[in-house]
Amino acid sequence: MLVLNFRDKIQVMKMRTRMAPSPTGEIHVGSIRTLLYDYALAKQSGGELILRIEDTDQSRYVKGSVERILKVIKDFGLNWDEGPEVGGPHSPYFQSQRLDIYKKYALELVEKGVAYYCFCDEDRLEKVREDQKRLGAVPKYDKFCLNLSKEDIEKNLKEGKPYVIRLNVPKDEMIEFEDAIIGKVSFPSNDVDDQVLLKSDGFPTYHLAVVVDDHLMGITHALRGREWLPSTPKHILLYKYFGWEMPKFVHLPLLREVDSTKKLSKRFGSVHAMGFLEDGYLPEALLNFMMFLGWNPGTEREIYSLEDFIKDFSLDKVQKSEMVAFDRQKLLWFNGMYIRNLPLEELWRKLNSWYKEYSKDKPKFSKSTEPFNLKVLDLVRERMKKLSEFNDLSEYFYEKPKVDKDAVIKFSENKDRAKEIIDNFISVYENVSSENWNIEYLDKISHEKLTEFSYKPKEAFMTIRFVVTGKDHTPPLFDVLGLIGKDEVLDRLRKFKL
Ligand code: GLU
Protein backbone atom coordinates (compact mmCIF):
# COMPACT_ATOMS: atom_id res chain seq x y z
CA MET A 1 0.00 0.00 0.00
CA LEU A 2 1.31 3.42 -0.83
CA VAL A 3 0.96 5.77 2.09
CA LEU A 4 1.77 9.37 1.38
CA ASN A 5 3.01 11.24 4.37
CA PHE A 6 3.06 15.02 4.63
CA ARG A 7 6.61 15.30 3.26
CA ASP A 8 5.84 13.18 0.23
CA LYS A 9 2.84 15.33 -0.50
CA ILE A 10 4.71 18.61 -0.32
CA GLN A 11 7.42 17.11 -2.46
CA VAL A 12 5.07 16.87 -5.39
CA MET A 13 3.64 20.36 -4.99
CA LYS A 14 5.93 23.09 -6.30
CA MET A 15 6.20 25.79 -3.70
CA ARG A 16 6.65 29.42 -4.53
CA THR A 17 7.88 31.29 -1.51
CA ARG A 18 8.96 34.86 -1.16
CA MET A 19 10.94 37.18 0.94
CA ALA A 20 9.66 40.71 0.99
CA PRO A 21 12.01 43.03 2.85
CA SER A 22 11.30 46.72 3.30
CA PRO A 23 14.31 48.93 2.61
CA THR A 24 13.95 50.78 5.89
CA GLY A 25 17.42 49.91 7.19
CA GLU A 26 19.41 46.81 7.99
CA ILE A 27 17.87 43.39 7.58
CA HIS A 28 17.13 41.66 10.88
CA VAL A 29 18.81 38.34 11.56
CA GLY A 30 15.33 36.83 12.05
CA SER A 31 14.54 37.64 8.42
CA ILE A 32 17.45 35.46 7.36
CA ARG A 33 15.96 32.60 9.41
CA THR A 34 12.64 33.13 7.59
CA LEU A 35 14.45 33.31 4.27
CA LEU A 36 16.31 30.08 5.05
CA TYR A 37 13.00 28.28 5.53
CA ASP A 38 11.61 29.93 2.36
CA TYR A 39 14.67 28.75 0.47
CA ALA A 40 14.42 25.18 1.76
CA LEU A 41 10.74 24.85 0.82
CA ALA A 42 11.26 26.27 -2.67
CA LYS A 43 14.31 24.11 -3.37
CA GLN A 44 13.00 20.84 -1.96
CA SER A 45 9.84 21.10 -4.03
CA GLY A 46 11.49 22.25 -7.25
CA GLY A 47 9.73 25.60 -6.88
CA GLU A 48 10.99 29.18 -6.78
CA LEU A 49 12.05 31.74 -4.24
CA ILE A 50 10.98 35.28 -5.07
CA LEU A 51 12.59 38.39 -3.69
CA ARG A 52 10.38 41.44 -3.66
CA ILE A 53 11.33 44.84 -2.34
CA GLU A 54 8.46 46.37 -0.38
CA ASP A 55 9.36 50.01 -0.72
CA THR A 56 5.93 51.55 -0.38
CA ASP A 57 6.65 53.60 2.71
CA GLN A 58 8.64 56.42 1.23
CA SER A 59 9.00 58.21 4.57
CA ARG A 60 10.92 55.26 6.04
CA TYR A 61 13.09 54.58 3.00
CA VAL A 62 16.79 54.42 3.87
CA LYS A 63 19.19 55.13 1.03
CA GLY A 64 21.55 52.29 0.23
CA SER A 65 19.54 49.73 2.16
CA VAL A 66 18.37 47.83 -0.93
CA GLU A 67 21.99 47.25 -1.97
CA ARG A 68 22.91 46.13 1.53
CA ILE A 69 19.93 43.78 1.74
CA LEU A 70 20.79 42.17 -1.60
CA LYS A 71 24.44 41.83 -0.59
CA VAL A 72 23.75 40.21 2.75
CA ILE A 73 21.31 37.71 1.23
CA LYS A 74 23.92 36.78 -1.38
CA ASP A 75 26.60 36.48 1.27
CA PHE A 76 24.43 33.93 3.03
CA GLY A 77 24.18 32.05 -0.26
CA LEU A 78 20.38 32.15 -0.32
CA ASN A 79 20.02 33.28 -3.89
CA TRP A 80 16.58 34.07 -5.24
CA ASP A 81 15.10 32.79 -8.50
CA GLU A 82 13.06 35.87 -9.35
CA GLY A 83 13.51 39.42 -8.21
CA PRO A 84 15.90 42.38 -8.43
CA GLU A 85 18.97 41.84 -10.64
CA VAL A 86 17.70 38.52 -12.01
CA GLY A 87 14.24 39.66 -13.19
CA GLY A 88 11.46 37.17 -13.83
CA PRO A 89 7.98 36.81 -15.28
CA HIS A 90 6.41 39.11 -12.70
CA SER A 91 8.72 42.10 -13.04
CA PRO A 92 9.08 44.66 -11.64
CA TYR A 93 9.89 43.30 -8.20
CA PHE A 94 10.04 46.72 -6.56
CA GLN A 95 6.63 47.71 -5.28
CA SER A 96 7.27 51.39 -5.92
CA GLN A 97 7.32 50.50 -9.63
CA ARG A 98 3.93 48.77 -9.47
CA LEU A 99 1.72 51.66 -8.34
CA ASP A 100 -0.73 51.42 -11.25
CA ILE A 101 -1.41 47.79 -10.40
CA TYR A 102 -2.33 48.55 -6.78
CA LYS A 103 -4.52 51.51 -7.77
CA LYS A 104 -6.43 49.35 -10.23
CA TYR A 105 -7.10 46.73 -7.56
CA ALA A 106 -8.02 49.30 -4.92
CA LEU A 107 -10.59 50.77 -7.29
CA GLU A 108 -11.92 47.32 -8.05
CA LEU A 109 -12.66 46.92 -4.35
CA VAL A 110 -14.40 50.32 -4.25
CA GLU A 111 -16.45 49.21 -7.21
CA LYS A 112 -17.45 46.07 -5.34
CA GLY A 113 -18.47 48.12 -2.30
CA VAL A 114 -15.93 46.51 0.04
CA ALA A 115 -13.61 49.51 0.15
CA TYR A 116 -14.37 53.23 0.17
CA TYR A 117 -12.93 56.69 -0.36
CA CYS A 118 -12.07 58.55 2.80
CA PHE A 119 -11.45 62.30 2.76
CA CYS A 120 -10.96 62.84 6.50
CA ASP A 121 -8.05 65.07 7.35
CA GLU A 122 -5.51 64.44 10.10
CA ASP A 123 -7.29 66.84 12.53
CA ARG A 124 -10.54 64.91 12.33
CA LEU A 125 -8.81 61.54 12.64
CA GLU A 126 -6.91 62.79 15.67
CA LYS A 127 -10.11 64.00 17.31
CA VAL A 128 -11.85 60.66 16.68
CA ARG A 129 -8.89 58.85 18.25
CA GLU A 130 -8.89 61.14 21.28
CA ASP A 131 -12.62 60.69 21.84
CA GLN A 132 -12.33 56.92 21.62
CA LYS A 133 -9.40 56.85 23.99
CA ARG A 134 -11.33 58.90 26.51
CA LEU A 135 -14.09 56.31 26.39
CA GLY A 136 -11.54 53.55 26.90
CA ALA A 137 -12.06 52.11 23.41
CA VAL A 138 -9.33 50.89 21.07
CA PRO A 139 -8.82 53.70 18.52
CA LYS A 140 -10.30 52.81 15.14
CA TYR A 141 -11.59 54.75 12.18
CA ASP A 142 -15.30 55.50 12.72
CA LYS A 143 -16.42 54.75 9.12
CA PHE A 144 -17.55 58.37 8.74
CA CYS A 145 -16.80 58.46 4.99
CA LEU A 146 -18.57 55.16 4.36
CA ASN A 147 -21.79 57.16 4.40
CA LEU A 148 -20.77 59.78 1.85
CA SER A 149 -23.14 59.97 -1.09
CA LYS A 150 -21.98 59.21 -4.60
CA GLU A 151 -22.34 62.91 -5.39
CA ASP A 152 -20.22 64.01 -2.43
CA ILE A 153 -17.50 61.62 -3.48
CA GLU A 154 -17.60 62.81 -7.10
CA LYS A 155 -17.48 66.44 -5.95
CA ASN A 156 -14.53 65.86 -3.63
CA LEU A 157 -12.62 64.00 -6.30
CA LYS A 158 -13.30 66.73 -8.84
CA GLU A 159 -12.07 69.38 -6.39
CA GLY A 160 -8.88 67.37 -6.00
CA LYS A 161 -9.40 66.80 -2.28
CA PRO A 162 -6.78 64.40 -0.91
CA TYR A 163 -8.18 60.95 -0.18
CA VAL A 164 -7.26 57.47 0.90
CA ILE A 165 -9.06 54.22 0.13
CA ARG A 166 -10.08 52.17 3.14
CA LEU A 167 -11.10 48.58 3.60
CA ASN A 168 -14.67 48.22 4.78
CA VAL A 169 -14.30 45.68 7.59
CA PRO A 170 -17.66 44.01 8.34
CA LYS A 171 -19.11 44.21 11.85
CA ASP A 172 -19.73 41.24 14.17
CA GLU A 173 -18.02 38.54 12.17
CA MET A 174 -15.28 36.09 13.00
CA ILE A 175 -12.37 36.17 10.59
CA GLU A 176 -10.75 32.75 10.55
CA PHE A 177 -7.89 31.04 8.85
CA GLU A 178 -5.66 28.03 9.21
CA ASP A 179 -2.00 28.84 9.84
CA ALA A 180 0.40 26.08 8.74
CA ILE A 181 2.10 26.14 12.12
CA ILE A 182 -0.27 27.63 14.66
CA GLY A 183 -3.40 25.92 13.33
CA LYS A 184 -6.79 27.61 13.43
CA VAL A 185 -6.66 31.33 14.22
CA SER A 186 -9.68 33.59 14.55
CA PHE A 187 -10.12 37.31 15.09
CA PRO A 188 -13.37 39.17 15.84
CA SER A 189 -13.86 41.61 12.98
CA ASN A 190 -14.84 44.31 15.47
CA ASP A 191 -11.20 44.45 16.56
CA VAL A 192 -10.01 45.14 13.03
CA ASP A 193 -9.63 48.72 11.83
CA ASP A 194 -10.84 49.93 8.43
CA GLN A 195 -7.32 49.72 7.13
CA VAL A 196 -6.05 52.29 4.64
CA LEU A 197 -5.26 50.39 1.44
CA LEU A 198 -4.21 53.23 -0.82
CA LYS A 199 -2.57 56.32 0.66
CA SER A 200 -3.07 59.92 -0.44
CA ASP A 201 0.33 59.89 -2.15
CA GLY A 202 -0.92 57.11 -4.46
CA PHE A 203 1.20 54.47 -2.78
CA PRO A 204 -0.45 51.33 -1.42
CA THR A 205 -0.03 50.32 2.19
CA TYR A 206 1.74 47.08 2.96
CA HIS A 207 -1.59 45.28 3.39
CA LEU A 208 -2.90 45.90 -0.10
CA ALA A 209 0.45 45.49 -1.82
CA VAL A 210 1.37 42.23 -0.09
CA VAL A 211 -1.95 40.59 -0.99
CA VAL A 212 -1.97 41.80 -4.60
CA ASP A 213 1.64 40.77 -5.17
CA ASP A 214 1.48 37.43 -3.39
CA HIS A 215 -1.50 36.64 -5.58
CA LEU A 216 -0.08 37.91 -8.88
CA MET A 217 3.28 36.30 -8.22
CA GLY A 218 1.68 32.94 -7.51
CA ILE A 219 3.00 32.62 -3.97
CA THR A 220 1.88 29.33 -2.42
CA HIS A 221 3.39 29.78 1.06
CA ALA A 222 3.72 33.14 2.79
CA LEU A 223 6.29 32.75 5.56
CA ARG A 224 6.83 35.62 7.95
CA GLY A 225 7.48 36.41 11.59
CA ARG A 226 4.76 36.11 14.16
CA GLU A 227 4.61 39.91 14.51
CA TRP A 228 2.52 39.92 11.32
CA LEU A 229 -0.20 37.66 12.73
CA PRO A 230 -2.47 40.57 13.81
CA SER A 231 -2.36 41.92 10.23
CA THR A 232 -3.50 38.64 8.73
CA PRO A 233 -7.30 39.16 9.20
CA LYS A 234 -7.03 42.19 6.90
CA HIS A 235 -5.30 40.04 4.33
CA ILE A 236 -7.89 37.28 4.69
CA LEU A 237 -10.66 39.79 3.99
CA LEU A 238 -8.83 41.10 0.95
CA TYR A 239 -8.40 37.60 -0.50
CA LYS A 240 -12.07 36.97 0.09
CA TYR A 241 -13.16 40.24 -1.53
CA PHE A 242 -10.96 39.73 -4.55
CA GLY A 243 -12.17 36.14 -4.80
CA TRP A 244 -8.58 34.83 -4.83
CA GLU A 245 -7.21 31.62 -3.42
CA MET A 246 -5.09 32.28 -0.36
CA PRO A 247 -1.49 31.18 0.03
CA LYS A 248 -0.74 29.03 3.04
CA PHE A 249 0.11 31.42 5.87
CA VAL A 250 3.14 30.38 7.91
CA HIS A 251 3.85 32.53 10.96
CA LEU A 252 7.23 31.68 12.46
CA PRO A 253 8.24 32.09 16.10
CA LEU A 254 9.99 35.35 16.94
CA LEU A 255 13.53 35.36 18.29
CA ARG A 256 14.26 36.30 21.88
CA GLU A 257 17.34 36.57 24.05
CA VAL A 258 18.01 33.65 26.37
CA ASP A 259 16.47 34.29 29.82
CA SER A 260 14.27 37.01 28.44
CA THR A 261 10.76 37.24 27.12
CA LYS A 262 11.67 40.18 24.92
CA LYS A 263 12.93 40.18 21.37
CA LEU A 264 16.60 40.41 20.42
CA SER A 265 18.33 43.44 21.80
CA LYS A 266 21.47 45.34 20.85
CA ARG A 267 22.54 45.19 24.47
CA PHE A 268 23.44 41.53 23.96
CA GLY A 269 25.11 41.87 20.56
CA SER A 270 24.15 42.22 16.93
CA VAL A 271 20.54 42.00 15.85
CA HIS A 272 21.08 42.71 12.16
CA ALA A 273 22.21 40.02 9.76
CA MET A 274 25.11 42.10 8.53
CA GLY A 275 26.22 42.85 12.08
CA PHE A 276 26.87 39.15 12.62
CA LEU A 277 29.00 38.98 9.49
CA GLU A 278 30.91 42.06 10.63
CA ASP A 279 31.47 40.41 14.01
CA GLY A 280 33.21 37.52 12.25
CA TYR A 281 30.54 34.85 12.05
CA LEU A 282 30.63 32.53 9.05
CA PRO A 283 27.36 32.58 7.09
CA GLU A 284 27.22 28.77 7.01
CA ALA A 285 27.62 28.54 10.80
CA LEU A 286 24.95 31.16 11.35
CA LEU A 287 22.63 29.33 8.95
CA ASN A 288 23.26 26.01 10.67
CA PHE A 289 22.49 27.63 14.02
CA MET A 290 19.35 29.30 12.69
CA MET A 291 17.98 26.09 11.17
CA PHE A 292 17.03 25.14 14.72
CA LEU A 293 15.36 28.42 15.62
CA GLY A 294 11.88 27.00 15.35
CA TRP A 295 12.55 23.76 13.51
CA ASN A 296 13.25 20.57 15.42
CA PRO A 297 14.04 17.46 13.38
CA GLY A 298 13.45 15.31 16.46
CA THR A 299 16.96 13.81 16.39
CA GLU A 300 20.25 14.60 18.11
CA ARG A 301 21.83 15.75 14.89
CA GLU A 302 23.11 19.33 15.01
CA ILE A 303 25.33 19.73 12.00
CA TYR A 304 23.50 20.35 8.79
CA SER A 305 24.78 21.62 5.49
CA LEU A 306 22.32 23.73 3.56
CA GLU A 307 21.86 20.81 1.16
CA ASP A 308 20.94 18.38 3.92
CA PHE A 309 18.66 20.92 5.52
CA ILE A 310 16.77 21.34 2.25
CA LYS A 311 16.17 17.59 2.24
CA ASP A 312 15.06 17.32 5.86
CA PHE A 313 13.19 20.54 6.56
CA SER A 314 9.45 20.36 6.90
CA LEU A 315 6.87 22.74 8.29
CA ASP A 316 5.23 20.09 10.43
CA LYS A 317 8.36 20.10 12.62
CA VAL A 318 8.28 23.83 13.29
CA GLN A 319 7.35 24.87 16.82
CA LYS A 320 4.05 26.51 17.61
CA SER A 321 5.51 28.71 20.35
CA GLU A 322 5.43 32.45 19.97
CA MET A 323 9.14 32.90 20.58
CA VAL A 324 12.31 30.84 20.46
CA ALA A 325 15.56 31.57 22.28
CA PHE A 326 18.45 32.87 20.22
CA ASP A 327 21.29 31.36 22.22
CA ARG A 328 24.32 33.49 21.42
CA GLN A 329 26.67 31.09 23.23
CA LYS A 330 25.45 28.24 21.10
CA LEU A 331 25.99 30.33 17.99
CA LEU A 332 29.57 30.98 19.08
CA TRP A 333 30.04 27.24 19.54
CA PHE A 334 28.72 26.55 16.03
CA ASN A 335 31.01 29.18 14.58
CA GLY A 336 34.12 27.85 16.35
CA MET A 337 33.29 24.39 15.13
CA TYR A 338 32.96 25.54 11.52
CA ILE A 339 36.24 27.43 11.82
CA ARG A 340 38.02 24.30 13.09
CA ASN A 341 36.51 21.96 10.53
CA LEU A 342 36.81 23.90 7.30
CA PRO A 343 39.65 22.89 4.96
CA LEU A 344 42.53 25.22 5.85
CA GLU A 345 42.77 26.90 2.43
CA GLU A 346 39.05 27.57 2.41
CA LEU A 347 39.20 29.13 5.85
CA TRP A 348 42.13 31.24 4.70
CA ARG A 349 40.12 32.47 1.71
CA LYS A 350 37.15 33.28 3.91
CA LEU A 351 39.37 35.10 6.38
CA ASN A 352 40.83 37.21 3.61
CA SER A 353 37.49 38.17 2.16
CA TRP A 354 36.21 38.92 5.64
CA TYR A 355 39.06 41.41 6.14
CA LYS A 356 38.31 42.94 2.75
CA GLU A 357 34.56 43.22 3.11
CA TYR A 358 33.56 43.33 6.74
CA SER A 359 36.43 43.98 9.11
CA LYS A 360 36.99 47.34 10.72
CA ASP A 361 40.64 46.39 11.48
CA LYS A 362 43.36 45.73 8.96
CA PRO A 363 44.90 42.26 8.91
CA LYS A 364 48.30 41.96 10.55
CA PHE A 365 49.38 39.30 8.09
CA SER A 366 49.44 41.44 4.97
CA LYS A 367 53.25 41.64 4.76
CA SER A 368 53.92 37.93 5.32
CA THR A 369 54.00 35.09 2.86
CA GLU A 370 51.00 32.86 2.33
CA PRO A 371 52.67 29.57 3.42
CA PHE A 372 53.63 31.22 6.71
CA ASN A 373 50.14 32.67 7.18
CA LEU A 374 48.54 29.30 6.58
CA LYS A 375 50.71 27.75 9.27
CA VAL A 376 49.76 30.50 11.69
CA LEU A 377 46.09 30.05 10.90
CA ASP A 378 46.37 26.29 11.33
CA LEU A 379 47.81 26.82 14.80
CA VAL A 380 45.51 29.51 16.11
CA ARG A 381 42.21 28.33 14.65
CA GLU A 382 41.85 25.78 17.43
CA ARG A 383 41.11 28.69 19.75
CA MET A 384 39.30 30.90 17.26
CA LYS A 385 35.55 31.26 17.62
CA LYS A 386 35.10 34.22 15.30
CA LEU A 387 37.12 35.43 12.31
CA SER A 388 37.54 38.74 14.11
CA GLU A 389 39.66 37.02 16.76
CA PHE A 390 42.42 36.18 14.31
CA ASN A 391 44.40 39.40 14.73
CA ASP A 392 44.46 39.14 18.47
CA LEU A 393 45.29 35.44 18.49
CA SER A 394 48.08 35.74 15.94
CA GLU A 395 49.65 39.18 16.39
CA TYR A 396 52.86 37.91 18.02
CA PHE A 397 53.65 35.94 14.86
CA TYR A 398 53.77 39.21 12.97
CA GLU A 399 55.19 41.76 15.40
CA LYS A 400 57.11 41.91 18.62
CA PRO A 401 54.73 41.72 21.57
CA LYS A 402 54.47 44.20 24.38
CA VAL A 403 55.39 42.19 27.43
CA ASP A 404 54.20 43.12 30.89
CA LYS A 405 57.30 42.74 33.10
CA ASP A 406 55.46 42.22 36.37
CA ALA A 407 53.40 39.50 34.75
CA VAL A 408 56.53 37.54 33.76
CA ILE A 409 57.69 37.27 37.35
CA LYS A 410 54.48 35.65 38.51
CA PHE A 411 55.41 32.41 36.73
CA SER A 412 58.61 31.80 38.72
CA GLU A 413 59.55 32.48 42.34
CA ASN A 414 61.14 35.89 41.83
CA LYS A 415 62.79 38.28 39.41
CA ASP A 416 66.24 36.66 39.62
CA ARG A 417 64.89 33.21 38.93
CA ALA A 418 62.91 34.50 35.93
CA LYS A 419 66.08 36.16 34.62
CA GLU A 420 68.04 32.98 35.10
CA ILE A 421 65.43 30.92 33.22
CA ILE A 422 65.49 33.33 30.28
CA ASP A 423 69.32 33.42 30.16
CA ASN A 424 69.61 29.65 30.33
CA PHE A 425 67.14 29.15 27.54
CA ILE A 426 68.90 31.75 25.42
CA SER A 427 72.04 29.58 25.60
CA VAL A 428 70.03 26.44 24.93
CA TYR A 429 68.44 27.90 21.81
CA GLU A 430 71.65 29.56 20.58
CA ASN A 431 73.11 26.09 20.27
CA VAL A 432 70.27 24.74 18.16
CA SER A 433 71.26 24.77 14.51
CA SER A 434 68.84 26.20 11.95
CA GLU A 435 68.18 22.71 10.54
CA ASN A 436 67.18 21.47 13.97
CA TRP A 437 64.87 24.39 14.65
CA ASN A 438 61.69 22.35 14.54
CA ILE A 439 58.95 21.35 16.96
CA GLU A 440 60.27 17.88 17.83
CA TYR A 441 63.81 18.99 18.46
CA LEU A 442 62.82 22.09 20.42
CA ASP A 443 60.53 19.97 22.55
CA LYS A 444 63.26 17.41 23.21
CA ILE A 445 66.06 19.87 24.01
CA SER A 446 63.86 22.12 26.13
CA HIS A 447 62.71 19.20 28.26
CA GLU A 448 66.29 17.97 28.70
CA LYS A 449 67.36 21.36 29.96
CA LEU A 450 64.40 21.47 32.29
CA THR A 451 65.70 18.39 34.08
CA GLU A 452 69.27 19.68 34.04
CA PHE A 453 68.32 22.99 35.72
CA SER A 454 65.56 21.38 37.78
CA TYR A 455 62.91 23.88 36.71
CA LYS A 456 59.26 23.05 37.00
CA PRO A 457 57.82 22.79 33.45
CA LYS A 458 55.20 25.40 34.18
CA GLU A 459 57.58 28.08 35.51
CA ALA A 460 60.12 27.69 32.70
CA PHE A 461 57.81 27.25 29.77
CA MET A 462 55.30 29.87 30.85
CA THR A 463 58.13 32.37 31.29
CA ILE A 464 59.49 31.67 27.81
CA ARG A 465 56.01 31.68 26.30
CA PHE A 466 55.17 34.99 27.90
CA VAL A 467 58.38 36.74 26.90
CA VAL A 468 58.16 35.54 23.29
CA THR A 469 54.45 36.09 22.76
CA GLY A 470 53.23 38.50 25.43
CA LYS A 471 50.43 36.05 26.22
CA ASP A 472 49.85 33.29 28.71
CA HIS A 473 47.58 31.34 26.36
CA THR A 474 48.92 30.27 23.01
CA PRO A 475 49.02 27.13 20.88
CA PRO A 476 51.63 24.57 22.07
CA LEU A 477 54.88 26.42 22.91
CA PHE A 478 57.22 24.53 20.60
CA ASP A 479 54.87 24.90 17.65
CA VAL A 480 54.93 28.62 18.31
CA LEU A 481 58.71 28.87 18.72
CA GLY A 482 59.24 26.67 15.68
CA LEU A 483 57.12 28.93 13.52
CA ILE A 484 58.43 32.26 14.81
CA GLY A 485 61.96 31.10 13.97
CA LYS A 486 65.30 30.96 15.71
CA ASP A 487 66.56 34.50 15.10
CA GLU A 488 63.33 36.17 16.11
CA VAL A 489 62.87 34.00 19.23
CA LEU A 490 66.40 34.75 20.36
CA ASP A 491 66.00 38.42 19.58
CA ARG A 492 62.87 38.63 21.74
CA LEU A 493 64.47 36.73 24.62
CA ARG A 494 67.67 38.83 24.48
CA LYS A 495 65.90 42.16 24.26
CA PHE A 496 63.68 41.44 27.20
CA LYS A 497 65.09 43.17 30.30
CA LEU A 498 63.73 42.64 33.76
N1 GLU B 1 7.75 44.03 4.16
C2 GLU B 1 7.54 43.23 5.32
C3 GLU B 1 8.80 43.31 6.17
O4 GLU B 1 9.62 44.13 5.93
C5 GLU B 1 7.29 41.81 4.91
C6 GLU B 1 6.27 41.10 5.67
C7 GLU B 1 5.81 39.84 4.95
O8 GLU B 1 6.69 39.01 4.67
O9 GLU B 1 4.62 39.70 4.65
O10 GLU B 1 9.01 42.60 7.10
Q: What CA–CA distance (Å, rounded) separates 331 from 214?
A: 33
Q: What CA–CA distance (Å, rounded) separates 394 from 217?
A: 51
List, in sequence order, every residue forming a beta bridge with 256; answer none if it has no partner: 263, 325
Ligand 1: distance of its center to the CA of 206 in Å?
A: 8
Query: Residue 251 is which amino acid?
Result: H
Query: Residue 332 is which amino acid?
Result: L
Q: What CA–CA distance (Å, rounded) separates 81 from 299?
A: 31
Residue 9 has pLDDT above 90, yes or no: no
> According to the model, what pLDDT value does residue 5 have?
52
Q: What CA–CA distance (Å, rounded) separates 420 from 414?
A: 10
Q: What CA–CA distance (Å, rounded) separates 122 from 375?
A: 67
Testing ligand 1's pocket by substitution, the residue of 29, 32, 54 carrying the most ligand atoms inside 8 A of its CB is 54
pTM for the model:
0.92
Quick one: pLDDT band at residue 413, thresholds 50, 70, 90? Answer: confident
Ligand 1 neighbour 207 (Cβ under 6 A): no
Ligand 1: distance of its center to the CA of 221 in Å?
A: 13
Quick one: pLDDT band at residue 12, thresholds 50, 70, 90? Answer: low
Residue 1 has pLDDT above 70, yes or no: no
- Which atom number of ligand 1 is nearest to the Cα of residue 214? 9
**458 classed as catalytic:** no
> According to the model, what pLDDT value does residue 367 have?
85
Mean pLDDT of 389-408: 95
Testing ligand 1's pocket by substitution, the residue of 19, 22, 38 carrying the most ligand atoms inside 8 A of its CB is 22
Ligand 1 neighbour 210 (Cβ under 6 A): yes
Ligand 1 neighbour 69 (Cβ under 6 A): no
Rg (CA), the chain: 32
Ligand 1 neighbour 30 (Cβ under 6 A): no
- Which atom number of ligand 1 is nearest to the Cα of residue 224? 8
Residue 2 has pLDDT above 80, yes or no: no
**Alpha carbon 39 to chain centroid, angstroms:** 14
